[in-house]
Amino acid sequence: MERPDGVSIYYKVWDDVSNPVGVLQIAHGMGEYIERYDPFARYLNRKGIIVYGNDHRGHGKTIGSTAELGSFGERNAWQKVVEDMQALSRLIRRNERNLPLVLLGHSMGSFLARTYIVKGQDSLEGVIIMGTGGKPGMIGKIGQMLIHREIRKHGWEDKSTQINKLVFGSNNKAIPNPKTSMDWLSRDEKQVELYIKDPYCGGQFDNGFYEDLLNGVLYVSNSKNLMTVPKALPLLLISGGEDPVGNRGKGVKQVEELLKSIGMKNVKTILYSGARHEILNEINRQEVFEDIFQWLSKIMSKQ
């Protein structure tokens, strides 16, 4: 998918469906890529739902090699990443015509999805916000100061171990007897091992990326910026009850309260007790798959 600035965005389609009832578009998280969603997409295909998703800038097959991982390629690129998602939505509308379209955003993708619906969501019948977090508070203020200092000293393309530690350093703290630094992702040890061994997962991110990410989180955490979101848009907030990104459920509840405070009329929240960050790769993933499908089927049957 060619973009106006010359960047070619890779996208994947799962369409092994005889009689489709709808389309799910996926926005993946930080330090991963769309093809990790293959088991979930195949499950949805069996249920009659076509799945699309793109690799964001600085991720997966959108980049030429692993050397390019961890950078959006320029400063202030958050809106461009959102516009890439919106371009994919338009492509889906052209390809799939009258089928209802729902957007799912995981982790970083959840903040991108939350930005998407502020900046124009005419093409969506619903949104799933997965693995999201609340307002960053004091950590956010410290992060902003540190990022600005690192950019002044070393430039936006530099990769700071200090910032990386601030963002991820405490994620494993509540995990009893962790075997790896990534145990906060899932209770499924095999899935954690696959993530660690995958050259396109994890890694260091540059200062410009963190600046964009934090600004994006702060933007969607401010109620004044959310007033343009259609109040009847169906939203599903879904996360692990032990996900550190969502402050073990507290941040997710904070987002629910924020959305309801601006008048959102159709917000549902599901928290899975014991589950960690990547609920689609958790030991109870079949339950998660089924819950998402049940919600999707209700949304798509109304169209």
Q: Which domains does the chain have, with CATH numbers?
A: 11-301 (3.40.50.1820)
For the cut 80, the answer to whether the pLDDT of residue 26 exceeds it is: yes
For the cut 90, the answer to whether the pLDDT of residue 286 exceeds it is: yes
pTM above 0.85, yes or no: yes
How far apart, in whole angstroms, are the C-alpha atoms of residue 128 and residue 110?
A: 8
Tokens of 246: 């969502």
**Cβ distance 239 to 130 under 8 Å?**
yes
For the cut 70, the answer to whether the pLDDT of residue 91 exceeds it is: yes
Q: What is the pLDDT of residue 303?
A: 63
**Cβ distance 246 to 132 under 8 Å?**
yes
For the cut 90, the answer to whether the pLDDT of residue 41 exceeds it is: yes
**Cβ distance 230 to 263 under 8 Å?**
no
Q: What is the pLDDT of residue 243?
A: 97
- Span 158-186, pLDDT tens digits: 999 888 888 888 899 888 889 999 999 99
- Span 247-257, pLDDT tens digits: 999 999 999 99
Q: What is the pLDDT of residue 164?
A: 87
* Mean pLDDT score across all residues of the chain: 95
- Span 188-238, pLDDT tens digits: 999 999 999 999 999 899 999 999 999 999 999 999 999 999 999 999 999
- C-alpha to C-alpha distances, 124 to 24, 31, 99, 111, nearest whole angstrom: 10, 26, 11, 16
Tokens of 267: 């917000």
Positive or negative torsion for Cα 53, 65, 155, 207? positive
Neighbours of 260 (CB within 10 A): 12
Rounded to an integer, the average pLDDT of 4-28 is 96
For the cut 80, the answer to whether the pLDDT of residue 302 exceeds it is: no
Q: What is the pLDDT of residue 121?
A: 63
